[in-house]
Amino acid sequence: MRRASQGLTVAAAAAVVVLLPHFVSDYHALELGKVGMYYVALLGLAVLTGYSGQISLGHGAFMAIGAYTTAILAGHHHWGELATIPLAGLVAGGFGFLFGLPALRLQGAYLSLATFGLAVSVPALAKEFDHFTGGSSGIQLPFRSGDWFYRLSWTCAAILLAVAWLVLRGRAGRSLRALRDSEVAAVAMGVNSPLYKTGAFALSAFYAGVAGSLLAIVTGFVNPDSFPPTLSLYLFVGFVIGGLGSLWFSIVGAFFLQYVDTLAQHVSKQAGPDFLKGLLLILAMLALAAARPLVRRVRDSRSARAEPSS
């Protein structure tokens, strides 16, 4: 009965996603397409933080790597944008794997600060290597309609949601949850901690790279200012709002990320950009402090529901 209701819910959600462009304008289709883009990024954070327990404040850096991969290949080498999307994910995933190796020695606040340093340094590096990235001038891409981008982003989101669901419901998901709950106990039971933790970083970065590629396509322009450190803070706050790793409920965080821009612009005009940056940092730190006990509470409630009634 429960599986049938879940199947009906998924079918209804899919029908809404497919039919919605027929009832909205091209502009609103573009806005809703960006929600799908952010949903892809939050799926990556759900794998990394929600399931493996590794807190990241640097997801915007992997989005930047994916975006520049698409921009360089499409803008400089005349690739089709669609062909660059999986490659952008692979390049970002490779960087995520490499970053995950030294991150094995870090956890908690130390890991979050290290990832935030990545979010700060990648845009700065993009300005230095202007021969490839275009520096502050950036790289131009062709303009695409909102309806076209809506279908592209939600197709990517549906495929990557299915991949995440298949990965996390199997042995890999059980191993990641075991590492999140107690790494010592998981290792004692034979879980290969370095393999799964770096694998989670790589998979999460792959998702962020795909989201960055979609961002490059929808904006038609990529430069270092497209990926400020505040983007990573936005993503982490969206992860908390989106259910702390729930694959389905992350859609709420994606809506927050899309429509918080309007509020951010208003606050920046009224109080100044420095106030906005400080406020975002405070909110991210509060979300970081709340994440661990909330993850534990959600985990315990799920475990309680899974136990058979006596």
Return the minimum-mean-pLDDT range out of 1-10, 72-81, 135-144, 224-233: 1-10
What are the counts of helices (DSSP H) followed by strands (DSSP E) for the chain? 13, 2
Give the tens place of pLDDT for each residue, 52-93: 888 888 899 999 999 999 999 998 888 888 999 999 999 999
Residue type for position 86: P
The domains of the chain, with CATH numbers, are 26-302 (1.10.3470)
pLDDT > 50? residue 307: no
Mean pLDDT of 42-47: 92
Which is more confidently placed, 136 or 219? 219
What are the CA-CA distances from residue 26 to residues 20, 157, 261 (Å)? 11, 19, 19
Residue 297 has pLDDT above 70, yes or no: no
Mean pLDDT (whole number) for 162-186: 88
pLDDT in tens, 271-292: 555 555 566 556 655 655 655 5
pLDDT score recorded for residue 5:
62
pTM of the entire structure? Answer: 0.84
- Nearest alpha-carbon partner for 179 in 304, 299, 308, 302: 299
Section 181-190 average pLDDT: 85
At residue 95, does pLDDT exceed 90? yes
| Cα dihedral 236/238/242/245 (nearest 10) | -20
User: What phi, psi does 140 have (nearest 5°)?
Assistant: -90, 145
